[in-house]
């Protein structure tokens, strides 16, 4: 899906990403939280953001449901629309990283090819895949909206984990067992990874 006109030319700003990072006092990158619905992606992403904010980092979380209310409100949940949803989020997070911000996303993003496509937008080390590894059984137990039950009853088509596949990451930068690790332990695991790679102080 690329109908970009030949008349569209990228404008190079004088305020560079490097200058923005220097002003912010930290590097910019994307933390891409992926996992089944109910695996704790949003909870963990916002908890990591809270910790980073207390460390004076500039951050922003893109939450799957929130983005579906605006930027991607015209998209459905079939494979093609899901692919476009992830493409848009990838391009948006790239802009935020250029702005010197630590961008975080909480999306199921079920297909490896789409996650790899987003990874390709960034330089090595700038895309950090955080796999919220949680059993389907626990995800269903956590489902206060009853969406899994509706999907099993055939009322919701293309529901990841039930009628649509989830392709788990083969080598994520961070893998967290959100069905057994506490939220605090999970946040620590993400922050330890960032500190080990000197992405944050």
**Which residues are tagged catalytic?**
109
Distance set, CA 16 to CA 22, 93, 136 (Å): 10, 16, 44
Q: Of 149, 142, 165, 146, give the one whose Cα is nearest residue 43.
A: 142
Distance CA 184, CA 173 (A): 19
Q: How many CB atoms lie within 10 A of CB 92?
A: 17
Distance CA 133, CA 178 (A): 6
What Rg do the C-alpha atoms of the chain give, in angstroms? 17
Contacts of 131 (CB under 8 A, 6+ apart): 34, 35, 168, 169, 172, 174, 175, 176
């Amino acid at each position: 899906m690329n109908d970009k006109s030949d008349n569209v030319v990228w404008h190079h700003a004088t305020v560079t990403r490097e200058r923005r990072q220097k002003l912010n006092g930290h590097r910019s990158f994307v933390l891409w939280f992926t996992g089944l619905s109910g695996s704790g992606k949003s909870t963990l992403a916002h908890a990591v953001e809270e910790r980073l904010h207390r460390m004076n980092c500039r951050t922003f979380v893109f939450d799957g449901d929130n983005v579906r209310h605006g930027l991607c409100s015209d998209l459905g949940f079939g494979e093609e629309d899901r692919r476009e949803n992830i493409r848009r989020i990838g391009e948006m997070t790239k802009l935020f990283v250029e702005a010197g911000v630590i961008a975080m996303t909480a999306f199921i993003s079920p297909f490896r090819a789409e996650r790899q496509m987003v990874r390709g937008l960034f330089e090595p080390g700038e895309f950090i895949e955080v796999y919220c590894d949680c059993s389907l059984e626990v995800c269903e137990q956590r489902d206060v909206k009853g969406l899994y039950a509706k999907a099993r009853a055939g009322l919701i088509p293309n529901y990841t984990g039930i009628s649509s596949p989830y392709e788990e990451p083969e080598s994520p930068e961070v893998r967290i067992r959100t069905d057994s690790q506490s939220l605090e332990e999970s946040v620590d695991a993400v922050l330890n990874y960032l500190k080990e790679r000197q992405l944050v102080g």
